[in-house]
Structure 1
């Protein structure tokens, strides 16, 4: 199995402000931070004032973070930033496939986010991974992040140690890189959790005298397919960000996107390997279940054969014929019982020796 790279710290350094109720479509949380020379200014700033300050001074950029914005709020922000109406529609509707779209004055990156859900056992109703969406709108002096779902929060993207102002001084593309970096980290975390689940099921599967619950493997297979469908489509957008000469992505930022692309490729390879491993587990579990069912059928057949002997003998003497010589024998009853017991015991020992019982 390809090695899972160690989890790296998130790479955005900013100052988060208190957030409102998560997931409200009409009361989206707005975090707005102005960055000058890579350093975020403390304190909450209305986005219109932040945009005006940056554009009047010609220095720095604005980072605006939205949590499931309503159409009116996103439309107002789009007017202030001069965004295309299709960006507004995608930001409010959600359910976007991972993609990279270039407009005249903006670059839009849609990503699916993943959060691994801790659990004690895998059941048919288990949700092992929870998915959401994250949209990044990149402009020359602004970057807007729009979140749908309760996966990666702005808190996950701020205050990370080891992220220097020099990197943010690159411009808004540094925020897009940091967000993509954290999203790919979430893929790696989910892959680590799924790998542990598969190893646990594999160990239980090959433990002697352990009943196999094949439904658990099917659940893991289902969740792996969901994770695979989340990770796969992001390959092309990351490749474009790291290779194509996009106006809004400086050459220096493309180097960082190559690192994200490399980790994304490793995560995709691990998930593909886990998918193959789960397929093998399904085949092995089906074979083990077949063996267990065959063993059960042999036991049932053995007991039926043992029970058939006294049933047959008792049936013969239960036919009530008048002329049956054994009926007049003094010890006939005890002899017949002895024959029943002897034959049953003999069959039991025979089946036991052949490991049918």
Structure 2
């Protein structure tokens, strides 16, 4: 018998009550065969031999091992003859050392599962996802565990989707902060563009794990069609949460796109304002140039070689420039 060292946690219930919080591999078969028994085993970085032995104890075929250890498995639910297989991804935003959200990174934790009517075997290839939150959720809804492994799967998915909501909320807060920056200062710097890019990159990573959950939960609901175990309303509520998370990410994507486009529009508007002011001041500066050029002719004119000619030219410069300034100001050119 292969020694199974990858079991991170395990638990068994009877009638919804915990009877063992450390299920040994040789106890799995007996616990599953009990009429009202329910078993959960969590594997962290298991080997092929370990997983194969556990699936045999659960009475599953060897094909159950293949999908669970596939390194690039996409989020999905697959129905097999004797079991249900799923893969989902949790998402978490880890801030930078300075506490900046956009300077941090998005981490995803993969959780795969093999589900039978009386057992749930979860497989994690890393420790990015903490099963402690799932255990707390099961304890809070312990009355549902009498319905079998469907309650375990619901609690696990509910924690994953709640984590999606928390991450999306953080990104939404950052989008609102960037919106305030966009309209709260006269011009944006390259740092603002970098932050918008970081927000968009984080959002793309989150959407990769959030959007497939619609199909995952929908497929799970289809496979549950015809089963009346008291969990229907709970799964309907879970599907509603998944739809809300998906729609939220879509609206955030539109907001990020709007932030980028609005920033470009504001820059164009500011450039137009600058060009308009430069054109107005250029017209005013052209007046004294023209007048001094006229009075600088080498031909006689009214006031030529006379003291009042200087006063006349100076007066024309001041009056015409002031008149142009007043006209441009009235038309919001300056």
Query: Who is 1:188 aligned against?
Result: 165
In the alignment, which residue of structure 2 is the partner of 1:99? Answer: 76
What is the match of residue 183 of structure 2?
Answer: 206
Is this contact kept in 2: 1:113–1:186, CA < 8 A?
yes
In the other structure, the counterpart of 2:214 is: 235
What are the superposed Cα offsets for residues 183-215 of structure 1, whole Å, 9 maximum, x if unpaired?
1111111221111111111111111x3432452
Instruction: Give the structure 2 partner of residue 279 of structure 1.
Output: 257
- Deviation track 1:4-50 (CA, whole Å, cap 9, x = no partner) reads xxxxxxxxxxxxxxxxxxxxxx974521111111122344232x223
Structure 2: distance between partners of 1:145 and 1:268: 25
Q: Which moved more, 1:238-247 or 1:109-118?
A: 238-247
What's the counterpart of residue 52 of structure 2? 78
Deviation by residue 1:73-130 (Cα, 9 ceiling, x = unmatched): 343333332344443232223322111111121101111211133465465x642x32
Tell me if the contact between 2:55 and 2:61 (Cα under 8 Å) persists in the aligned partners: no
Deviation, structure 1 residue 346 = 12
| 1:145 and 2:122 are equivalent in the alignment | yes
SS in 1 for 2:82: coil
Matched with 1:157 is: 134
Matched positions, count? 319
1:219 deviation in Å? 2.2
For structure 1, the 5+ residue unaligned runs are 1-25, 310-344
- Selected match of 1:117 from 94, 106, 112: 94
Question: What TM-score do the two structures reach when normalised by structure 2?
Answer: 0.74
**Aligned residue runs from structure 1 range 1-357, under 5 A:** 28=6, 30-46=8-24, 48-55=25-32, 57-67=34-44, 69-70=45-46, 73-82=47-56, 83-118=60-95, 120-121=99-100, 126-127=104-105, 129-160=106-137, 163-207=140-184, 209-213=185-189, 214-215=192-193, 216-245=195-224, 251-295=229-273
- CA–CA distance in structure 2, aligned partners of residues 272 and 61 of structure 1: 39
Aligned to 1:18: none
Q: Secondary structure at the match of 2:180?
A: helix
Aligned 8 A contact 2:13 2:20 in 1: no
User: How far apart are the structure 2 equivalents of 1:113 and 1:176?
Assistant: 14
The structure whose RCO (Cα within 8 Å, separation 6+) is larger is 1
Structure 2 SS opposite 1:30: strand
The match for 2:297 is: none
CA contact (8 A) 1:212 1:288 kept: no
CA RMSD of aligned residues (A): 4.2
CA contact (8 A) 1:34 1:50 kept: no
Which blocks of at least 5 consecutive residues in structure 2 are unaligned? Answer: 288-321
Superposition TM-score, scaled by structure 1 size: 0.70
Residues 157, 182 of structure 1: 8 Å contact kept: yes
Distance 2:54 2:280 in 1: 82
Cα distance per residue 1:324-357 (max 9 Å; x no partner): xxxxxxxxxxxxxxxxxxxxx9999999999888
Give the Cα–Cα distance (whole angstroms) in 2 for the partners of residues 37 and 307 of structure 1: 92
Deviation at 1:265, TM superposition (A): 0.9
CA displacement at 1:237 relative to structure 2: 2.3
Alpha-carbon spacing, 1:197–1:54, altered in 2? closer, same or farther (3 Å): same
